[in-house]
Chain A
Amino acid sequence: MRRAEKIGLGVALAGHVLLFTLLSISFSRPIDPALYKPKPIEVSLAEDVALEAQAPKAVEPPAQSKAPDQGSPEDAAPPAPQPEPEPEPEKAPAPPKPQPKPEPPAKAPPKPEPAPAPKPKPAPVKAKPKPEKPPVKAAESKAEPKKAAAKPTPSKAEPKKAAAAPAKAETPPSKAKGTGSDAKSTLKRPRGSLLDDDFRKGLVQTPSPSKSVAPIAAKIDAKSLASIQQAIQRQIQPCADKQVIPGPGATDIVTVLNLRLNKDGTLSATPKMVRQSGTDDQNERYAQRVVDLGVAAFKGCSPLKLPPEYYSTPSGGWNNLNYIWKLGGSR
């Protein structure tokens, strides 16, 4: 071998070693393959977001809480004798009723006109037999001659009013006990209040299941469904966190579980797997285990509190719901 060939061999050898070393060396950290592993993300397609009424159906208003206000109508007003205004002399004894009038004397002064004034009106026309009272009030009535003159024709009706007015004046004092016709009555006079003494009679010590029914939504939309999904997720999270992840890759498995729920949020049936995705060679042996863990999580945190108006609507509800179950908790 000649000298030039020896040199050539040495140079070629050195060059190849250098080249392959440079190609094999990297100057930074190796690329972590986990960085490039696509992580499954959850996409919920909300296709039904049109403007549709989701308001609850109008329901009949709940019954008023009113207990029967029982008791004998002992203080019923005496039958009004006014329908017969003619028997004036008989009426004359009736006026004794003014007896209670002295009781509300303070009230009387502000309204002298309503009560006494009408009386004079019939007086000038028909009540001439009444000698005592009219003279005094007649002077007043004269101060209002126009009224008297202006209402000659309705004067027949006036007596009724006049009679009604005293009757009205009578009722306030009649609230006072003992003013009724039934002197033996000890009951309070019914006042028409919704909160009477009988109000609490309906309350019993043992809790009774409410009969009130939540209004049903007209329709469940995708948004509400998504929020229900989130509510479920939030509520089973404590139980989901307790489940032990069976192996690497198990958290990538996405399982759709079918939930059958009762109205009170309990499971009416064991959740069933609808479909599963995210399995590959590594984690497919955990597929059934993930389903079992999901069922366990639901059973553990079972009475779910969900909005009752969406329990069952014409377009579905959470009585029969597909839930996307994924191990590893927080999404």
Chain B
Amino acid sequence: MNLFFNTDATSLSPIALFLQADWIVKIVMLGLLLASIWTWAIIIGFLMRLGKIRKGVQRFERDFWKAEDIDAFYRIEGENPLPTARVFAAGVKEWRRSTVGGTIDRDGTRERLATAMGAAVAGEIDELSDGLNVLATVGSVAPFVGLFGTVWGIMHSFTEIAAKQNSSLAAVGPGIAEALFATAIGLFAAIPAVIAYNRFSHGINRIEARLNRFADGFHATLSRQLEAEGKR
């Protein structure tokens, strides 16, 4: 058994198909291959990040609701890069800024707290959904790019028929196979991108909802604290 690369026209090897293609089709194929690599890089990165965030958020919330002293908890978790921790830190910072003076405007403080934490949530979600647009783009565009390569390759095959004065399948077949390979790569890149896009937008929505729920809960806690401060 000997290993080697198939480079002849009769095999269905990607390298053979790539090498025999027209240069424009080659560019299309290379671009689609890069898109596929990028897509998978994003997918893998997302899987790792979202998993970590989900677990971290769960642990953080459990710890937060168990904590007796918010200031003490902030000292421990204030620099945590978790989205929930950042929302929490934004709330605590706003709280401290609002209560640093003598008089406390309760309604204004509540509003500012809500705004600050909402902004923190939006910022976190923005950051999380950074690669999603790439997935969406690849998922929708890659098939068209592949189709373009196919159309170009088939046009090339037809001009070859005209040049060779020979319309036998042996003369036309390889060119069409190469051309179709462009569409194949396009689909190869687009299908995982579309699946991943839908799956990750759903995951990010859930994280956003969870962050909002946490922010609301924290806001309620701070609001209660604000009332207690006002009575003093």
Residues on A close to B: CB < 8 A?
Answer: 2, 4-5, 7-13, 15-16, 20, 23-31, 33, 281
Contacts and interface: CB of A to CB of B under 8 A. Distances in A.
Contacts of A29: 2
A10 B3 CA distance: 26
B15 A2 contact: no
Nearest to B44: A8
A25 B49 contact: no
A9 B11 contact: no
16 contacts: A4-B46, A5-B42, A7-B45, A7-B48, A8-B45, A8-B47, A9-B41, A10-B41, A16-B33, A16-B36, A20-B14, A23-B13, A23-B14, A30-B10, A33-B10, A281-B166
A30 B1 CA distance: 11
B45 A2 contact: yes
B194 to A, nearest CB: 16
Interface in B1-36: 1-6, 8, 10-16, 33, 36
A21 to B, nearest CB: 8
B67 interface: no
A12 B41 contact: yes
B60 interface: no
Given A7-B45, A11-B44, A12-B44, A25 B3 contact: yes
Contacts of B52: 4
Interface residues of B, number: 32
Contact of A27 (B1, B40, B48): B1
Given A9-B37, A12-B40, A25 B48 contact: no
B44 A24 contact: no
Nearest to A5: B45
A8 B41 contact: yes
Given A4-B45, A4-B49, A4-B52, 8 more contacts: A11-B41, A11-B44, A24-B16, A25-B5, A25-B13, A27-B3, A30-B8, A33-B10
Interface string B34-66: 001111111111111100100000000000000
A7 B42 CA distance: 10
Top 5 nearest A-B pairs (CB, nearest first) are A8-B44, A12-B40, A8-B45, A9-B41, A5-B45
Given A16-B36, A20-B15, A26-B13, A5 B6 contact: no
A13 B37 contact: yes
A23 B17 CA distance: 11
Contact of A8 (B12, B14, B48): B48
A26 B8 CA distance: 12
Contacts of B16: 24
A100 to B, nearest CB: 104
Contacts of B38: 9, 12
Nearest to B50: A4
A20 B1 CA distance: 20
Contacts of B37: 9, 12-13, 16
B40 A15 contact: yes
Nearest to A23: B14
Contacts of A7: 44-45, 48
B138 to A, nearest CB: 12
Contacts of B5: 24-25
Contact of B40 (A16, A23, A28, A31): A16
A5 B41 contact: yes
Nearest to A16: B37
B153 to A, nearest CB: 19
A9 B35 CA distance: 11
B48 to A, nearest CB: 4
A7 B13 CA distance: 28
B219 to A, nearest CB: 29
A10 B16 CA distance: 25
A7 B46 CA distance: 11
A1 to B, nearest CB: 9
A30 B6 CA distance: 8
Residue from A12, A15, A29, A30 having most chain B Cβ neighbours under 10 A: A12
A85 to B, nearest CB: 110
Contacts of A31: 10-11
Nearest to B45: A8
B6 A26 contact: yes
A15 B189 CA distance: 13
